[in-house]
A = this chain, B = another copy of it.
Amino acid sequence: MRLALDAMGGDHAPQVVVEAALRSARSASFDIALVGQPQVVEPLLAPHRPLPANLAFEPAPDVVAMDGHPGTAVRQHPQSSIGVGIGLVKAGAADAFVSAGNTGAVMAFAVLKLGRLPGVERPALGSVFPTERDRCLVLDAGANADCRASYLLQFALMGAAYMAGVYGVCNPRVGLLNIGEEPTKGNQLALEAHRLLRESGLNFIGNVEGRDVPRGAADVVVTDGFSGNVLIKTAEGVGEAAGNLIRQQVTARWHYKLAAAVLRPAFRAVARRMDYAEYGGAPLLGVPGVVIIGHGRSNARAIERGLAVAAQAVESGVVGTIARSIRGQASAPAASAD
């Protein structure tokens, strides 16, 4: 198995990516193709030569800025690390692409170059969200701001396949993000999606509210890309605000500071539990290939987790499962008409 890794993607690239590539190559069983600008990446690799046998450098002369426009990136930077990395997947020279770069650009390159799996209406970005129990997948996390109910049904099918394949969740509980528990609650989209999901054959547990998601009420939470993005970013913001408030308070008096020093490992355990870096990045689902997008602020550990998650997705054949699941959905009405 060979994974393409974007050396240029992320706020702390290329340093943390090179670090993650070297560490993963030493400990993991997959091959890594590190894709990036030679003049930037080569000097970072030089002190580590000879490189591990399962780590190779793939030159990409260009780069996409973290805040660049996705459409412009695709048109003007085909030889960027993202363009070249996705190209390796397209050519069969890599099984997956992992990047902590410009999310929109990775999605745009992936959809343009790889296309969509047959029958997929819209590829979706999933976000792995920490819960009190363990984690859930929220999708769409922002790829599709306006959605139809039929998209949400497909998000549910794809998300369930991903959670089963990558995280070993058996018969994942699918919840529909909504603003009330009753099936009659919500906007037009949610009302229609509720009906489709109820008839889907999935383990649909009904509506879940924003409060239920962090509690771990569902393994897969489906919604449109606008609400999904609001959910994820609000959770991030509240976590940060809570952290800042606690820091302010516990440093306000000297005896607090002493007590806080004792509790440091406990605080750290909580922060790690709520940290995106532990969860391995956001999968782009519905394309013929494994594409994992890390948080822009990814550290080396987050990139390593992204590689491990990508390997697990390849290993478990998630793309094939999704393709079969979407095919099954397409043939379901015909079958029931027999």
Contact = CB atoms under 8 A, between A and B. Distances in A.
Given A142-B179, A145-B187, A226-B227, A266 B249 contact: yes
A260 interface: yes
Contacts of A245: 132, 270, 273-274
Given A142-B179, A212-B237, A263-B263, 18 more contacts: A145-B190, A179-B225, A179-B226, A187-B224, A210-B232, A211-B233, A211-B234, A211-B236, A213-B237, A230-B230, A239-B242, A242-B242, A242-B274, A245-B273, A249-B266, A250-B266, A256-B263, A258-B262
A227 B263 CA distance: 37
Contacts of A40: none
Q: Copy number in this complex? A: 2
- Of A212, A214, A230, A239, chain B has the most CB atoms within 10 Å of the CB of A230
Interface of A: 131-132, 142, 145-146, 177, 179, 185-188, 190, 209-215, 223-227, 229-242, 244-246, 249-250, 252, 255-256, 258-260, 262-263, 266-267, 269-270, 273-274
B187 A226 contact: yes
A263 B187 CA distance: 44
A214 B238 contact: yes
A208 to B, nearest CB: 10
B179 A230 contact: yes
